[in-house]
C-alpha cells in the first residue's frame, strides 16, 4: 500500500502546529517518557536545526497535560493526564543579544509573559529574584512542582563568542540566572536545558552540580534527528525517484554513541527540492569556526581523523575552545569509535557525511584565497582535467591554485614553511569536489600520502618539499616502495604521481606521472 504524502514540517517548532497541519511527525515521546520517569535535571547538546526546540515544545505540551495532541503516540496511554504541571519555558532562540542590557530585557520579557499567563504580579526588579519568586509561587498556586525548560541556553554567549569581554559578561549574567534552578530544587519537578555547546560546570553551571548530561548517553543518541527506520517508514512517500544510498551518504552519519541519525533539516529540504545540496551547512556555518581553523593553521586532512577524550570533548569555554570540542559540539565532527582504557574514554572523530565533508573544505578554501569565484572555476577545471587524465593541465591548474593564495597568507602562517601546508591545500581541492580520498594509505611497504579513486581509476600521490627546482624524489619513492602493488589486482588503471613543492616559489615545481595497469 502506498502511503499518502503529508506536509513537510520545515521550520515548524510547535508540536500543536505540526500535528494539526497534518505534517510528517517522528514520534519522540518514548524519549520524553524515559526522561520523565527518571525525573531530575538534564542537559542536552545538539547542533543547530536538529529539532531541539520541537522536543522542548513536546515536553511543554506533555507536562501541561494537553492530552489531545498525544492521541495515537507512544506516550498517550502511559501518562497521567490528570496532573497538569506549571511549565516555565525560557528560550533565547530569537534574535541576537549584543550586550548585558539586551539579555536583561529578554529575561524580563519572558518572565513577565509567564506572570501574566498565571495572573501573578512581579515582585522583584532583577531577573534572578523574579525567576526564583515565580517558581515558588507557581508551586504554591497549583500544588504541583514546576517544570523548567530552557531552549538555546548558550546562544547569548555564542552570539558574542568573538568578542571576549561581552561573551564573559553574558556568561556571568546567565550563570547568575541559572543558579536559581539549583536553589529551588524543592519546587522543581523536572528541568531540561538544551543548546549547541557544553560550557563547563565551573564556568557556567557551578551551582548545578546535579545536572545530568545526556549528550553522549547511548539511550538518547536518537533523541533528535531521524533514524534509518524513520526515513524508510514515516518518510517512505518522499523517497520515490531518490537514490536511497545517496540520501544516506549525503545526510546520515551523526552519532552520539548510539543509533546514528540524519540531519532533519537536510532531509526535509531534500524532499521538497528533490536535489542533493548542503542545505544545513549553508544556513549559517559560524564565521568564527572558519576563522579559528585558519588562525590555528589546522592541517585540513587531519580533520577527518582527529582523536579526543571525554574531557576534551566537553571542554568549551570562552578563551579555551579546543578545535575538537568546537567542531564536535557544533556538528562538523561526530563520533566514529569509542575506546575505554582503564576507565578513561577516548573517541575517534570523523566528518559525519558528504554534505559536511565537501562543504567544509570548499568554505575553507574560499577563506584562504578570498576569491570564491576563482575557486569555483578551479574546482570545475579539476573535475574535467581529472576525468580526461590531462596531467599537464593538472600541473598548470595546481600552479594556479597556489598562485591564488594571497602573499600575506604565507607570511602570517608558520605552517606554510612545511610540506604539510602544501599537501593540505592540494588535498582540500579534491575534498571540495567530494571525491573518494584516502590519506596516509597503508601498504606493505609504507604509506601513500594520498590515494584518490575516481571514474574507475586510481591515483597515487606522493608529496615532497624541495628548494627551488624539482628533484624527482616524490615519484621515485612511489616506485621504490612499490605502492601500486596494493591496487594492481583490482584491474583498474593506476596512476603514480609525484608532486614537489617549492616554499621559495610557493608553488608546484615538479609534477611527474607514470601510468600503470
pLDDT at position 466 over 90: no
CA angle 387, 390, 460 (to 5 degrees): 75
More confidently predicted of 56 and 320:
56
The mean pLDDT of the chain is 89
Q: Once rounded to an integer, what is the mean pLDDT over residues 474-496?
A: 90
pLDDT at position 442 over 90: no
pLDDT recorded at residue 370: 64
More confidently predicted of 439 and 55:
55
Return the top range by mean pLDDT from 59-63, 311-315, 502-506: 59-63
More confidently predicted of 444 and 175:
175
pLDDT recorded at residue 423: 75
pLDDT at position 12 over 90: yes
Percent of the chain with pLDDT over 70: 92
- pLDDT tier for residue 290 given thresholds of 50, 70 and 90: confident
Q: Once rounded to an integer, what is the mean pLDDT over residues 212-233?
A: 96
**pLDDT tens digits, 148-205:** 999 999 999 988 988 889 999 999 999 999 989 988 999 999 999 999 988 765 566 6
pLDDT recorded at residue 270: 98
Give which of 152, 91, 67, 84 is closest to 118, Cα–Cα: 84
Percent of the chain with pLDDT over 90: 60
The whole model's pTM is what?
Answer: 0.90
Q: Under CATH, to which class is 372-516 assigned?
A: alpha beta
In the chain, where does the domain assigned CATH 3.40.50 lie? 27-220
* Residue bearing cell 531530575: 40
More confidently predicted of 249 and 313:
249
- pLDDT tier for residue 257 given thresholds of 50, 70 and 90: very high
Across 86-90, 100-104, 414-418, least confident range: 414-418
- pLDDT tier for residue 347 given thresholds of 50, 70 and 90: very high
pLDDT at position 315 over 80: no
Exposure on the CB side of residue 433, measured as CA atoms within 13 A: 23
User: Cα dist. 28→33, 56, 74, 283, 413 in Å?
Assistant: 9, 11, 8, 25, 47
Using an 8 Å Cβ cutoff, are 31 and 59 in contact? no
Using an 8 Å Cβ cutoff, are 432 and 420 in contact? no
More confidently predicted of 247 and 421:
247
Using an 8 Å Cβ cutoff, are 487 and 494 in contact? yes
pLDDT recorded at residue 369: 66
CA 489 to chain centre: 39
pLDDT recorded at residue 449: 85
Rounded to 10 deg, the angle between the 354-369 and 287-295 helix axes is 70
Beta bridge partners of 451: 438, 460
In the chain, where does the domain assigned CATH 3.40.1350 lie? 372-516
- Longest CA–CA span in the chain (Å) reads 84
pLDDT at position 414 over 70: no
**pLDDT tens digits, 120-139:** 999 999 999 999 999 999 99
Third-level CATH fold of 27-220 = Rossmann fold (3.40.50)
Return the top range by mean pLDDT from 245-249, 342-346, 495-499: 245-249
**pLDDT tens digits, 356-379:** 999 988 888 777 666 677 778 888
Amino acid at each position: 500500500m502506498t502511503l499518502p504524502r503529508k506536509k513537510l514540517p520545515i521550520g515548524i517548532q510547535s508540536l500543536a502546529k505540526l500535528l494539526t497541519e497534518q505534517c510528517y511527525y517522528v514520534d519522540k515521546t518514548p524519549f520524553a517518557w524515559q526522561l520523565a520517569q527518571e525525573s531530575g535535571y538534564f542537559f542536552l547538546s545538539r547542533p543547530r536545526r536538529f529539532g531541539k526546540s520541537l522536543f522542548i515544545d513536546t515536553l511543554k505540551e506533555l507536562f501541561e497535560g494537553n492530552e489531545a495532541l498525544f492521541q495515537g503516540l507512544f506516550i498517550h496511554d502511559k501518562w497521567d493526564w490528570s496532573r497538569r504541571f506549571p511549565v516555565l519555558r525560557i528560550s533565547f532562540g530569537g534574535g541576537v543579544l549584543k550586550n548585558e542590557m539586551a539579555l536583561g530585557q529578554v529575561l524580563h520579557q519572558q518572565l513577565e509573559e509567564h506572570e501574566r499567563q498565571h495572573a501573578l504580579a512581579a515582585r522583584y526588579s532583577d531577573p534572578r529574584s523574579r525567576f526564583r519568586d515565580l517558581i515558588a509561587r507557581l508551586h504554591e498556586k497549583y500544588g504541583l512542582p514546576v517544570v523548567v525548560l530552557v531552549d538555546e541556553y548558550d546562544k547569548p554567549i555564542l552570539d558574542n563568542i568573538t568578542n571576549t569581554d561581552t561573551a564573559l559578561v553574558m556568561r556571568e549574567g546567565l550563570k547568575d540566572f541559572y543558579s536559581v534552578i539549583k536553589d529551588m530544587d524543592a519546587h522543581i519537578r523536572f528541568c531540561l536545558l538544551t543548546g549547541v555547546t557544553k560550557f563547563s560546570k565551573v564556568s557556567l553551571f557551578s551551582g548545578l552540580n546535579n545536572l545530568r548530561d545526556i549528550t553522549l548517553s547511548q539511550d538518547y543518541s536518537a533523541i533528535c534527528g531521524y533514524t534509518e527506520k524513520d526515513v524508510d517508514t514515516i518518510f517512505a512517500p518522499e523517497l520515490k525517484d531518490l537514490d536511497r544510498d545517496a540520501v544516506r551518504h549525503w545526510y546520515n552519519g551523526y552519532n552520539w554513541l548510539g543509533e546514528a541519525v540524519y540531519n532533519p533539516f537536510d532531509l526535509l529540504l531534500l524532499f521538497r527540492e528533490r536535489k542533493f545540496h548542503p542545505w544545513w551547512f549553508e544556513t549559517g556555518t559560524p564565521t568564527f569556526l572558519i576563522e579559528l581553523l585558519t588562525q590555528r593553521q589546522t592541517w585540513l586532512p587531519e580533520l577527518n581523523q582527529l582523536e579526543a577524550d571525554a574531557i576534551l570533548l566537553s571542554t568549551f569555554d570562552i578563551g579555551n575552545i579546543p578545535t575538537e570540542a568546537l567542531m564536535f559540539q557544533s556538528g562538523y565532527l561526530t563520533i566514529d569509535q569509542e575506546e575505554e582504557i582503564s576507565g578513561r574514554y577516548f573517541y575517534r572523530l570523523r566528518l559525519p557525511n558528504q554534505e559536511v565533508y565537501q562543504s567544509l573544505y570548499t568554505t575553507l578554501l574560499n577563506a584562504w584565497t578570498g576569491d570564491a569565484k576563482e575557486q569555483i572555476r578551479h574546482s570545475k577545471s579539476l573535475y574535467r582535467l581529472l576525468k580526461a587524465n590531462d596531467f599537464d593541465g593538472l600541473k598548470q591548474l595546481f600552479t594556479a591554485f597556489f598562485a591564488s593564495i594571497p602573499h600575506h597568507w604565507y607570511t602570517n602562517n608558520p605552517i606554510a614553511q612545511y610540506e604539510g601546508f602544501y599537501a593540505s591545500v592540494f588535498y582540500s581541492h579534491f575534498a571540495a569536489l567530494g571525491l573518494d580520498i584516502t590519506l596516509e594509505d597503508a601498504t606493505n611497504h609504507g604509506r601513500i600520502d594520498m590515494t584518490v579513486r575516481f571514474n574507475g581509476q586510481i591515483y597515487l600521490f606522493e608529496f615532497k618539499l624541495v628548494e627551488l627546482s624539482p628533484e624527482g624524489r616524490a615519484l621515485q619513492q612511489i616506485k621504490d616502495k612499490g605502492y601500486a602493488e596494493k591496487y594492481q589486482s583490482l584491474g583498474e588503471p593506476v596512476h603514480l604521481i609525484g608532486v614537489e613543492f617549492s616554499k621559495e616559489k610557493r608553488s608546484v615545481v615538479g609534477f611527474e606521472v607514470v601510468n600503470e595497469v
